Amino acid sequence: MRILLVEDDKMLGSALQQNLRLDGFTVDWVQDAEDAEVALATGEYGMLLLDLGLPAKSGLQLLKELRSGNDPLPVIILTARDARHDRIGGLDAGADDYVVKPFDPDELAARIRAISRRQAGRFSSTIEHGMLTLSPATHEVYFGGEQVTLTAKEFSLLAALLERPGAILSKDTLELRLYGWGEEVESNALEVHVHNLRKKLGKTMIRTVRGVGYTIGDAS
Residue 15 vs 120, nearer CB to other proteins? 15
Residue 62 vs 219, nearer CB to other proteins? 62
Site residues (CB under 8 A) for other proteins?
Answer: 9-12, 14-16, 18-19, 22, 55-56, 80-81, 100-106
**Residue 63 and residue 43: Cα distance in Å, rounded?**
17
The H-assigned helical ranges of the chain are 10-22, 33-42, 59-68, 84-92, 105-119, 152-163, 171-178, 189-201
User: At closest approach, how far in Å is the CB of 11 from other proteins?
Assistant: 5
User: At closest approach, how far in Å is the CB of 135 from other proteins?
Assistant: 17
**Residue 55 and residue 53: Cα distance in Å, rounded?**
7
Element (H, E) at 165: none
User: At closest approach, how far in Å is the CB of 23 from other proteins?
Assistant: 9
User: At closest approach, how far in Å is the CB of 53 from other proteins?
Assistant: 9
**Residue 124 and residue 210: Cα distance in Å, rounded?**
33
Residue 79 vs 133, nearer CB to other proteins? 79
Dmax over Cα atoms in the chain, in whole Å?
A: 54
Residue 87 vs 101, nearer CB to other proteins? 101
